[in-house]
Structure 1
Amino acid sequence: MYELIGLSVVLIAWAVVSGRAARYSITVPIALMLAGHLLAGGSAPLITIDASSTVLQHPLQATLALILFADGTGIALGRLRGTGHLPLRLLLIAFPLTVLLGYLAGSLLFPAASGWVIALVAAAVAASDVSLAEAAVHDERIPHDVRLAVKVESGFNDGLAAPLVLFFLGGALAAGHEEGTAPLLSHTVRELAIALVVGVAAGAGAGRLLRWARKRAWSAVAAERLAYVAVGVLAFEAAHALHGNGIVAGFVAGLAVRAADRDLPAAHVQTVHDVVMLLSAGVWFVFGSMVWQSMAALNWQVAVYALLSLTVVRMLPVALSLAGSHRSRREVLLLGWLGPCGLPSVIFALLAVEELRGPAAALTAVLITATVLLSVLAHGLSAAPIAQRWELGPVRPAGPRGRAARR
């Protein structure tokens, strides 16, 4: 009860100052995280939140499922083709290389840790959250195709990270299990297979039905907005009921909805995004409450891992994926930097900490917390200055229409 009261007061207060705060690059995650720390963190919290409570696990999973569902419905295939090969390079080359490089960095810095746990963390922090750099992504001074590629990448790579995180979590749990690794890993694979089937069935079926009704003017926009929220919830809960993974089912359902209805109007899924925004605010508030406890284990290895995750581990794979693409150095650096580690990583951490125990849980929590905390501050505060300085860069030669373009 008190948690919701506190969150409600914070959201109202944020609405009052949000416009002025934006001038100073203070984003929603920064504000909610700080509020969660002040009200529910520290040694004498005003509100008590148990981030590892089993009560929170189902809502957290549902939140991530709806986030992924919204991501899946947000990018049309035609729009993806319009960006050329840029997002495909980021997703098919840079993303797996980022996970691999993150694993290698973690193994070197924490040689005594389980390889499964290090792989879990590497996959979790490889998921990007473009909302942390919103000021740059929506600024028209930055090239349109670069901004669109970042949005597409962020919409898809958290969906790609989810099954990897769950698979590595299954391996971490199985490592100390008497029955061995194979049975639990096969169970994880079975959950993912069920999620795939449920997601396709729910998303494609509902998408075609709603498209059919809209074409015949049978449906109302307000009702469709609620219906698309229901599709995401249906995929998540149905997968759970069938002992599948509801998080992956949500992402697959979003993709299936968009595939079945390529002309889906953005206004019809606005309620989905509004619900996701509200749930996300709650997650950032909870994350702020756990920062103090998680960061108690901070040491130089953790700090180095967090710094590497946002720089070399992210930027080197992006640079390699763009080799031969004739992109300017500024664009390559920008694409490498615009890979914030945010909300999906937080939820992965909260879910993993509930399942893991002892040193594995502590290491997972501190590594992801440190990386997300650094990313929230670094990407949130740098987004607007990057956009402002972009137009000061060198000018490209004039195009066929005689207009010069900034690099």
Structure 2
Amino acid sequence: MTGLLIITVATIFLALIAKRLSSTVITPPMFFLALGALFSFTDLLPKENAQEGLHLVAEVALVILLFLDAAKVDLAELIRERTVPLRMLLIGLPLAILLGTGGAFLLLPDWPLFALALLAAILGPTDAALGQSVITDPSVPEMERQSLSVESGMNDGLALPAILLFASLAAITPASEATNWFTFIAMQLTLGPLIGGAVGYVGGWLFLRADERKYTASTYEGISTLALAGAAYLSATLLGGNGFIAAFVAGLAFGNIVKGRCQFIYDFTESEGQMLSWAAFFLLGLTLVPLAAQNLTLPVFLLILTSLFVIRPLAIWLSLTGTGLPPRTRIFFGWFGPRGLATALFALLIAGNSEDAQGEAILMIAINAVWISALLHGVTAAFGALCYGRYSGK
């Protein structure tokens, strides 16, 4: 009971100063990671089955945040600027995996090639929530904010087929999962967007009709939006598509049908999504961060820094060659790609299916990457957004 009381008081405190905190170097993910890590050294909370709880909370939080981030995207503006996020997704992400595999080989030469590729794929997805100041700061131009949001929302789902493929090739998941990979990847990348788009469009249309006829109220609309995000994810997953892509595309379709006419939906969903995200980072700090930090060797630390400072920026720089974007914009895109819930969730998925030490080692590296990224990107987010916005003349 004492532990729960401390957590509730800490959450109240953070919520009361959250707006003020957004202009500092401290972010909510940093706060809850640290709080969870502190609790891990006490007996105030039971730790049994906490890792399973982390898996569930992180998955639900990721689905809701993907849906919500997409619902805020102006589709017309995105279509006009489609070159940037598409290049980062279709060129930048594969390049990051390829370059990441090479970098990992130099620092972990004893690892099998496909295990290195798996690690690079897990470190590929980004989480805009860890650099929320960049996405929400109005001084940052709309194109940059939307491009980072779309990239963050889509690269989770695009990385998952590669992660499962490399996991099977590295014999970290059951061999039966490696059958008919072409069909699997095709279904993941086509059914997810199709199902998500259909669920989001129909859901948005129904919301508008119900709102016009006064059949519902704002409280219930918020609850239904959470269910809609879950419906998109579950429908795609059950039919063989990618649930994360489906959740993002559903939010994109829903937001551009509703177009802000039901503002309470966004307020309600964002609050629920933030609470789940904070809970996931707390559980991450409680269950895995201390253990991962104990396993942080010099080669692993250098690998993580290389991924953050070299691999991702270089991949994004190369992917945006020929777009006419100035160097400062390409550097801005390259740096603000923090590793967050998706990286932790995918590593947990792999470690849960692993029957040897390789999966556990990948999990430890991924968790270390998440907390180091939370620290570095959290410290630079507000200041970086402010400087970039001013330099861009906005």
TM-score (norm 1): 0.81
SS of the residue corresponding to residue 26 of structure 1 reads coil
Structure 1: any 5+ residue segments left out of the alignment? Answer: 394-404
Query: Distance in 1 between the 2:85 and 2:301 partners?
Result: 30
In structure 1, the residue matched to 2:339 is: 341
Give the gaps of 5 or more residues in structure 2: none
Offset of 1:5 from its aligned partner? 5.0
Give matches, 1:174-253, under 5 Å: 177=175, 181-182=178-179, 199-216=196-213, 218-238=215-235, 246-253=243-250
Q: 1:142 to 1:193 in 2, by over 3 A?
A: closer
Q: What displacement does 1:128 show?
A: 1.6
Q: Percentage identity across aligned positions?
A: 29
Find out whether 1:318 has 2:316 as its counterpart: yes
Evaluate the alpha carbon distance shift between residue 88 and residue 185 of structure 1 in structure 2; reply closer, same or farther with a 3 A threshold. closer
Q: Which moved more, 1:77-86 or 1:277-286?
A: 77-86
In the alignment, what sits opposite 1:270?
A: 267
Tell me which residue corresponds to 2:157. Answer: 159
Q: Please state how far the C-alpha of 1:131 moved relative to its aligned partner.
A: 2.6
Q: After alignment, is 230-239 or 25-34 more displaced?
A: 230-239
> In structure 1, the residue corresponding to 2:25 is in which secondary structure?
coil
Q: Secondary structure at the match of 1:311?
A: helix
Do the aligned partners of residues 244 and 149 (structure 1) sit closer, same or farther apart at CA in structure 2, a change above 3 Å counting? closer
Closer/same/farther in 2, CA of residues 175 and 218 from structure 1, 3 Å limit: closer
| Counterpart position of 2:143 | 145
Work out whether residues 70 and 150 of structure 2, in 8 Å CA contact, stay in contact via their aligned partners in 1.
Answer: no
2:14 counterpart residue number: 14
Q: Following superposition of structure 1 onto structure 2, how do residues 22-101 of structure 1 map, counting pairs within 5 Å?
A: 22-40=22-40, 42=41, 44-50=42-48, 53-54=51-52, 56-83=54-81, 85-101=83-99
Aligned amino acid, residue 126 of structure 2: S
Counterpart Cα distance in 1 of 2:16 and 2:261: 31
Change (3 A) 1:380 1:175: closer
**Alpha carbons of 1:78 and 1:344: their partners in 2 closer, same or farther (altered >3 Å)?**
same
Distance 1:285 1:52, change over 3 A: closer
Q: For the residues of structure 1 that align with 2:272 and 2:23, how far apart are their CA atoms? A: 26
Preserved CA contact (<8 Å) 2:128 2:152: yes
Which residue does the alignment assign to 2:325?
Answer: 327
**Superposition deviation, residue 381 in structure 1:** 0.9
1:324 is aligned with what amino acid? G
What's the Cα RMSD here?
3.4
Residue 279 (structure 1) aligns with: 276
1:307 CA drift (Å)? 0.6
Q: Retained in 1: the 8 A contact 2:54–2:283?
A: no
Greater relative contact order: 1 or 2 (C-alpha under 8 angstroms, separation 6 or more)? 2
Q: Choose 1 or 2 for highest CA Rg.
A: 1
Residues 1:232 and 1:176: Cα distance change in structure 2 (over 3 Å)? closer
Moved more, 354-363 or 180-189: 180-189
Aligned amino acid, residue 259 of structure 2? D
Residue among 121, 124, 136 paired with 1:123: 121
> How many Å separate the matches in 1 of 2:237 and 2:84?
35
Q: How do 1:356-371 and structure 2 match up within 5 A?
A: 356-371=354-369
TM-score, with length taken from structure 2: 0.84
Deviations 1:236-270 (A, max 9, x none): 445566677644543343345346x2635462333
Aligned AA (1:37):
A
Of 325-334 and 46-55, the range deviating more from structure 2: 46-55
**CA distance in 2 between partners of 1:123 and 1:20 (Å):** 36
Of 378, 381, 390, the match for 1:380: 378
1:162–1:391 distance in 2 versus 1, CA, 3 Å: closer
Shift of 1:320: 1.2
Please report how far the alpha carbon of residue 18 of structure 1 lies from its aligned counterpart in structure 2 after TM superposition.
3.8
Does structure 2 conserve the Cα–Cα contact (< 8 Å) formed by 1:194 and 1:244?
A: yes
**Which amino acid is the alignment partner of residue 29 of structure 1?**
P
Q: Secondary structure at the match of 1:306?
A: helix
Answer whether contact 1:341 1:371 (CA < 8 A) is retained.
yes
1:353 matched to 2:351: yes
- Equivalent pairs, count: 392
In structure 1, distance between residues paired with 2:246 and 2:388 = 39
